[in-house]
């Protein structure tokens, strides 16, 4: 697949989705899908670098599409004015070649993982809290997948960006790693099954392979997740 014919879906236009979208547009990707239903707020601006003060109160989709077209006039931008939810997840993921997930909650992360597995689409997950961020590349065949690392939505929640905060530069570096994984998969290079971690305090950046979990409910030889069940994705946890 050539980059100018690649279709990439971005789930969430937050602190990760904004720099990822810019990098994809500059890399010459042919089509970017944006999945978000939020509006720009003043408190977003220090980390959501697609937007300016003039965009406050407007739909993120509209502001992002305008900026991305300015960066790359040949880019096709598709807007999905919705959150990724059980009713639409598999359908939307199926329309793209690669999915980038940078959402701020575990429910959406697990929904994305499951929908991409069922649709047979590769996905790159990313998250960041405080000074630390991660990106995980998952191939269309899974093994390993997001559930190999985190079996299910945490019962007790997790530190979230609203309460714990996140450093804007960390988001940019993690998003760059996320896009690097996505472009590698588009170019046919080996990236699936690898994870990168970045610690902004020490400046340490690591890349390592992730082993598959033999009893993974999603990507093992005998998967237990065969369809999207709405009740499985109810969680207030926030991670990125």
**75 domain-assigned:** yes
Q: Which domain holds residue 82?
A: 3-233
Omega of the bond leading into 126 within 30 degrees of 0 (cis): no
**239 domain-assigned:** no
Contact between 112 and 101 under an 8 Å Cβ cutoff? The reply is yes
Cα–Cα distances in angstroms (integers) from residue 56 to residues 37, 39, 45, 60, 125, in the given order = 14, 7, 9, 9, 27
* pTM to 2 decimal places: 0.93
**pLDDT band of 158, cuts 50, 70, 90:** low
**180 domain-assigned:** yes
**209 domain-assigned:** yes
Mean pLDDT of 233-237: 61
Looking at the predicted structure, is the pLDDT value of residue 114 above 90?
yes
Contact between 56 and 10 under an 8 Å Cβ cutoff? The reply is no
Looking at the predicted structure, is the pLDDT value of residue 133 above 60?
yes
**20 domain-assigned:** yes
Query: Could you give the number of structural domains in the chain?
Result: 1
**238 domain-assigned:** no
Per-residue pLDDT reduced to its tens digit, 192-202: 999 999 999 99
**240 domain-assigned:** no
Q: Measure the CA–CA gap between 129 and 110, rounded to whole angstroms.
A: 18
pLDDT at 236: 43
Provide the CATH number for the domain around residue 67.
Answer: 3.40.50.720
Mean pLDDT of 218-226: 94
**pLDDT band of 118, cuts 50, 70, 90:** very high
């Amino acid at each position: 697949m050539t980059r100018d014919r690649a279709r990439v879906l971005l789930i969430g236009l937050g602190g990760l989705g904004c720099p990822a979208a810019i990098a994809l547009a500059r890399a010459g990707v042919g089509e970017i899908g944006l999945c978000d239903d939020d509006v720009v707020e003043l408190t977003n601006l220090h980390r959501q670098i697609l937007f300016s003060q003039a965009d406050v109160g407007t739909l993120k989709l509209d502001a992002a599409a305008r900026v991305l077209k300015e960066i790359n006039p040949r880019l096709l931008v598709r807007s999905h004015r919705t959150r990724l939810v059980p009713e639409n997840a598999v359908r939307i993921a199926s329309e793209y070649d690669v999915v980038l997930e940078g959402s701020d909650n575990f429910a959406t992360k697990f929904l994305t993982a499951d929908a991409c597995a069922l649709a047979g689409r590769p996905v790159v997950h990313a998250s960041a809290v405080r000074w630390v961020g991660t990106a995980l590349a998952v191939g269309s065949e899974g093994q390993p997948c997001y559930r190999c690392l985190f079996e299910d939505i945490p019962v007790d929640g997790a530190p979230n960006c609203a309460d714990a905060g996140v450093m804007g530069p960390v988001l940019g570096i993690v998003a760059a790693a996320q896009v690097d994984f996505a472009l590698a998969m588009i170019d046919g290079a080996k990236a699936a099954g690898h994870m990168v971690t970045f610690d902004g305090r020490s400046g340490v950046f690591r890349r390592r392979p992730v082993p598959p979990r033999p009893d993974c409910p999603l990507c093992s030889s005998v998967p237990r997740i065969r369809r999207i069940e709405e009740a499985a994705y109810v969680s207030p946890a926030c991670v990125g």
